[in-house]
Amino acid sequence: MAKGSAPATDHAITGDDTAIELPTHPSALFAAGSGFLTSAFHAYGTLSSDNAITRITECAEVGGGSTGRKATLSVEYARNDPHLPTNLFVKFSRDLDDPLRDLARTQMQPEVRFAELTRRPGFPITVPTTLFADYHAGTGTGILITERIRFGADGVEPQHHKCLDYEMPSPVEHYRTVVKSLALLSGWHRGGAAGDVIDRFPVDLQAATVGERPPLCEDKLSRQLSRLAEFADTHTGLLPPNIRTQEFLSELSGQVPLIVGGEPALWQHLGASANHIALCHWNANVDNAWFWRDNDGRLQCGLLDWGCVSQLNVAMALWGALSAAEISLWDRHFDDLVSLFAEEYQAAGGPSIDRGELAAQVLQYAAIMGATWLLDVPALIRTRLGEPAKAMTRFDPAIKDDEAIRAPLQMLTNVLNLWQTRDVGALLVALR
């Protein structure tokens, strides 16, 4: 199917909430024009009945992300309103030209529900203003139209890309701001402010993932850890010294049964921690945030990309926010960030939680997720970069400029460093 072609259906797909016919790709949106946008914004309640969109001045498809197609959109209104943004961002749930990406279309359903939740009075954190959002559950067809964040303009910092924190000014300040926002949302929910709407976000811890999670098995893990030990010996510039030692890697290999046995125990443990369950952003890395300073010079942030939003164990949200940070942040500031989350969570209406237990759950979750998703990084680097990688560091352009390599490498480094410095093996024993 060619890019921009019509969806594989012979009938209109209308949203479950607004009954508006939903375009499935940028060309269809542009063809539907200002009339569609006016009707959609009227139905959603963001545009008054005596106002209209008169013209689309820009509609351009943009790449990126792991789900759906996306576009930038600029519009003109019949009557200007300071509360109505003119530069917009459009996210489609579907990618009808890529069957694998299209499988992730259901991830938009909670995003659409969350967009509605953000319109409640007193919503506690900053998110992009939603102009229209709707979803058709029967086909997984949805569209989300929000304000476009103008990185590097109007006081907003340039976007901070994942796993480039060494180029970010004041990283700890940025992570404190993100962690505080996560805690405010979770505490607001647990304090009852979300009301019955929260029932639309069921607790399903294992659904918070992009793609189907591969099962852990001892034979595969043993092979991966053996390859990791070889990689650590031959690619000395890509891993820090403390996680390249024979002693640590041998100890890690001996913990394969703990890792495999720890997975079902982990999910049971995380789900049983009732005070730790709250509405969360699953992946609040700094590239899913924007930052600015208020009139008093204090750093503030808003959070983007709410795919997989649901009620989670808050330890999962903390790992999602910190997983791409530098190991120095983990070494020096992890405990302080856990305490900050717990304090702000309780102050916003959530229950009191034990800091030590929360830290342990973050580390346990990180260990299982690392074993599940990240141990193929050595194979990835060998396949993509070959022999030259043996002489590289993570600052080499071939790695630094390729997020698909630098991000999993940094996340694997974090998991291994935590394993070595925080005795994660003992924490896995504690799950039994």
Q: How many CB atoms sit inside 10 A of residue 71's CB?
A: 20
Token pair 């579907």 in the structure block, residue? 94
Q: What are phi and psi of 365, to 5 degrees?
A: -65, -45
Of the three residues 89, 119, 147, the one that is the final residue of a domain is 147
Domain assignment of residue 67, yes or no: yes
Q: Could you tell me if 303 and 209 lie in one domain?
A: yes
pLDDT digits (tens, 9 = 90+) for 121-140: 999 999 999 999 999 999 99
Do residues 304 and 149 touch, judged by C-beta distance below 8 A?
yes
Identify the pLDDT of residue 405: 98
Identify the pLDDT of residue 210: 65
Residue with the larger pLDDT of the pair 316 and 9: 316
Q: Is 192 helix (H, G, I), strand (E, B) or coil?
A: coil
pTM: 0.94
CA distance 359 to 339: 9
Nearest Cα to 186, choosing from 288, 293, 316, 291? 316
DSSP assignment of 274-333:
GGGEEEE-S---GGGEEEEE-TTS-EEEEE---TT-EEEEHHHHHHHHHTTS-HHHHHHH
Identify the pLDDT of residue 188: 98
Strand partners, 133: 144
CA distance 301 to 289: 6
CA distance 190 to 276: 10
Over residues 226-235, the mean pLDDT reads 98
Q: Could you tell me if 110 and 182 lie in one domain?
A: no
CA distance 54 to 50: 12
Of the three residues 97, 120, 147, the one that is the final residue of a domain is 147
CA distance 143 to 18: 12
List the CATH number of the domain containing 331. Answer: 3.90.1200
Residue 184 has pLDDT above 70, yes or no: yes
Residue 166 has pLDDT above 70, yes or no: yes
Domain assignment of residue 362, yes or no: yes
Q: Could you tell me if 142 and 203 lie in one domain?
A: no
Domain assignment of residue 262, yes or no: yes
Q: Could you tell me if 135 and 243 lie in one domain?
A: no
Identify the pLDDT of residue 206: 84
Q: Is 231 helix (H, G, I), strand (E, B) or coil?
A: helix
Torsion of CA 335, 337, 338, 342, to 10 degrees: 140
Identify the pLDDT of residue 67: 82
Q: Which two tokens stand for residue 236?
A: 């000395």
Residue ranges making up the domain that contains 100? 26-147
Do residues 336 and 291 touch, judged by C-beta distance below 8 A?
no
185 — pLDDT class (breaks 50, 70, 90): very high
Q: Could you tell me if 70 and 200 lie in one domain?
A: no
Q: Which two tokens stand for residue 222?
A: 């043993």
Q: Could you tell me if 117 and 266 lie in one domain?
A: no
Residue 2 has pLDDT above 60, yes or no: no
CA distance 425 to 128: 41
The pairs formed by 334-339 with CB atoms below 8 angstroms and a separation of 24 or more are 334/359, 334/362, 335/359, 337/175, 337/176, 337/179, 338/362
Token pair 């852990």 in the structure block, residue? 216
pLDDT digits (tens, 9 = 90+) for 256-302: 999 999 999 999 999 999 999 999 999 999 999 999 999 999 999 99
Overall number of domains in the chain: 2
Calculate the average pLDDT of the chain.
Answer: 94
C-alpha torsion sign, points 263, 265, 268, 273: negative
Q: Could you tell me if 108 and 245 lie in one domain?
A: no
Q: What are phi and psi of 180, to 5 degrees?
A: -65, -40
Q: Quick one: 247 exposed, middle or buried, by C-beta within 10 A (0-12, 13-18, 19+)?
A: exposed
Residue 211 has pLDDT above 80, yes or no: no
11 — pLDDT class (breaks 50, 70, 90): low
Q: Could you tell me if 286 and 395 lie in one domain?
A: yes
Domain assignment of residue 267, yes or no: yes
Domain assignment of residue 86, yes or no: yes
Q: How far is CA 122 from CA 126, 229, 255, in A?
A: 11, 51, 47
150 — pLDDT class (breaks 50, 70, 90): very high
Q: Spell out a b/e string for 367-403, using b for 16 or more CB atoms within 10 Å of the CB, else e.
A: bbbbbbbbbbbbeebbeebeeebeebebebeebbeeb
Helix axes 403-422, 246-253, angle to 10 degrees: 90
Domain assignment of residue 16, yes or no: no
Identify the pLDDT of residue 7: 41
Least confident span in 210-219, 236-245, 298-307, 340-349:
210-219
Q: Which two tokens stand for residue 380?
A: 């990835």
Domain assignment of residue 391, yes or no: yes
9 — pLDDT class (breaks 50, 70, 90): very low
Domain assignment of residue 154, yes or no: no
List the CATH number of the domain containing 56. Answer: 3.30.200.20
Residue with the larger pLDDT of the pair 211 and 166: 166
Q: Could you tell me if 170 and 111 lie in one domain?
A: no
Q: Could you tell me if 177 and 143 lie in one domain?
A: no
Q: What are phi and psi of 24, to 5 degrees?
A: -110, -5
Of the three residues 117, 147, 177, the one that is the final residue of a domain is 147
Q: How far apart are the first and last CA of the chain?
A: 51
Nearest Cα to 338, choosing from 350, 191, 348, 321? 321
Q: Could you tell me if 280 and 386 lie in one domain?
A: yes
Percentage of residues of the chain with pLDDT beyond 70 = 97
Percentage of residues of the chain with pLDDT beyond 90 = 91
pLDDT digits (tens, 9 = 90+) for 313-325: 999 999 999 999 9
Sequence length of the chain is 432
Q: Could you tell me if 112 and 170 lie in one domain?
A: no
CA distance 413 to 425: 16
